A and B are shown apart, each in its own frame.
Chain A
Amino acid sequence: MIDLTGGMASRPTVPSVENAGVVCVRRRSTNCHFFVTPYIASRGSAWCTRDDNQLTIAGLLGDTSRRDRDYRDGMDRTLNGPRILRLWARYALLAAAATSVLPNALAQETPLLSGGISFFTNTSRGYTTYLPLTEPLLAAPVGKHLMIESRAALLESFLPRGNGMSGYDHSYTAALTYVQGDYIASRHATVVAGSYLVPFGTYNERLSPVWINNLQDGPFIANLPFMATGLGGELRGSALSNGRYSIDYAGFFSARSDNEQFNAMRSSGGRVDLYLPQERLEAGFSYGRLLQGTRENFYGVHLWWEPEKTALRLRSEYARGAHAEGYWIEADYRSQAFGGLDSFVGRFEPVFRIQQTFRIDNLATDGLPSTDTQRPEIGIDYNLPHNARILTSYSRQFSSAGDHNIWETGIVYRFLFPAWKGHSK
């Protein structure tokens, strides 16, 4: 059994799921079902989802989707729904005060509320999970150089009890995904402070919002350590930009701490992107280093390509850590040949993604599956009018721990409106 209370000054070697025996502890027996996994325990916190344990549905470490992991990490900070509302109310008041003293500069810069409301279902190994989810986003400019933005996640999960028991458990999770202040220091530099999305690879910053991602689940490699939210500072911007190419950069330092333990998990790193607009090709390199306890390096590369005059997008990413590596390649396409993107046919969006992870060793768990895993996914999305979207997908996961099918369906509605009535130009 893993000790829930012991603080961890470093990332110790922890047993794999296969060797750990019973490593899960039910934190809340009636309406919440989070469990302990080795990785989470190694960070000195106690939140993960039931899919991470071999006694539960999927039975594989690393099965927890990126989205779920974000909520879990958010719960580490013991935020709940009312507290998030209070925090957001403070930001809104701050933005309102700033807006009132800077009326001329903000004619088109009324704070906005955006986000997505979704209802997902996931069927795996005969069990179906229902996940109603709301991800609101607040962006509030303050003056000409500063902006405060935040994204939260409110999730109600209905999961089958499993292990021969009938019925469902349900849980409610609310978490701030990030809260950051952006100061535009110059045309080449923006300083970010607060809790921010770590700029490693592309998925975390660009594709993780529920209203953007083409598939419900994030890729495996998005579960690598430190790849969710950092706490500290970030410097980012456009180093060079002209009609032929542009080079962007982002560097960060994080000293994230779980308030239960006051135990910082320091890390640093960054990303450099080269984008060729004429070829519509982007390549980038990411680097991250854990500075706490066992120091480990992480490397990542990504390649995105959108052939000109097509609605085809090819995205790929590779990441390597000290104990595992993996990649994903995703393609999505919308036909323009039958009346454009807004025609009945043009609204269909086939999606294909392939991902693999390779375990280097099991000396420490790192969020990736504990065995080599392959998962091809095929999906068909339909882009409804009025910012709604239907997502469906089928995937099959292959690993030595067992193969299984995953069926996912869901609908997402994206909203975007002013936080209050502003002065339109």
Chain B
Amino acid sequence: MTHRRFLILFLSALCAILVLVSVQSSGAAQVRSAANGKKVRQAPQTDGERVFQQNCSRCHAAPEGFSPSIAGTVARHMRVRASLSREDEEALLRFLNP
């Protein structure tokens, strides 16, 4: 395969990704307030949920349920792996085992 064909393939894939992003972003824009353009949250997000989304779910999906007795171990493991602060670890623990 020539480099040109490879480049075309790569650019095509990149375009497809950008189209996906734009379509999804337009859907997300519907939750913005028409009056002032500020984002309107569909549901309140706890600190723990924010920590989970910003740190844990960037790499992996959430496991479907686990024993509360290991919630602290999971949070501490994430603290080391994702370099969380102590506050974030505590928030994550409250989210995992409220």
Chain A contact residues, CB within 8 Å of chain B: 106-112, 139-141, 147, 149, 182, 184, 187-188, 190, 192, 205-207, 209, 211-212, 236-238, 241, 248-250, 273, 275, 277, 280, 282, 304, 306-310, 312-314, 331, 333, 337, 352, 354, 374, 376, 383, 385-387, 398, 403, 414, 416-418, 421-425
Contact = CB atoms under 8 A, between A and B. Distances in A.
Given A139-B73, A385-B64, A425-B68, A241 B85 contact: yes
Given A110-B69, A309-B27, A312-B24, 6 more contacts: A112-B66, A307-B24, A376-B10, A398-B1, A418-B70, A424-B69
- Secondary structure of the B contact surface, majority rule: helix
A280 B50 CA distance: 11
Contacts, number: 142
A209 to B, nearest CB: 8
Contacts of A421: 69
Nearest to B28: A309
6 contacts: A147-B73, A184-B79, A307-B24, A309-B24, A385-B64, A416-B66
Contacts of A237: 83
A403 B1 contact: yes
A374 B21 CA distance: 25
B58 A313 contact: yes
Interface in B58-87: 58-61, 63-64, 66-74, 76-77, 79-81, 83-86
Contact of A387 (B24, B63, B74, B80): B63
Contacts of B93: 108
Given A237-B83, A352-B13, A106 B67 contact: no
Contact of B25 (A238, A248, A307, A331): A307
B6 A416 contact: no
A141 B76 contact: yes
B20 interface: yes
Interface of B: 1, 6, 9-10, 13, 17, 20-21, 24-25, 27-28, 31, 50, 54, 58-61, 63-64, 66-74, 76-77, 79-81, 83-86, 88, 93, 97
Contacts of B71: 108
B83 A418 contact: no
A422 B69 contact: yes
A418 B10 CA distance: 45
A139 B63 CA distance: 16
Given A307-B21, A310-B24, A108 B63 contact: no
Contact of B70 (A184, A212, A374, A417): A417
Smallest CB-CB A-B distances: 10 pairs: A108-B72, A422-B69, A309-B28, A109-B72, A248-B83, A310-B24, A424-B69, A112-B70, A424-B68, A110-B69
B70 A422 contact: yes
Contact of A212 (B24, B60, B74): B60
Given A312-B17, A425-B97, A398 B81 contact: no
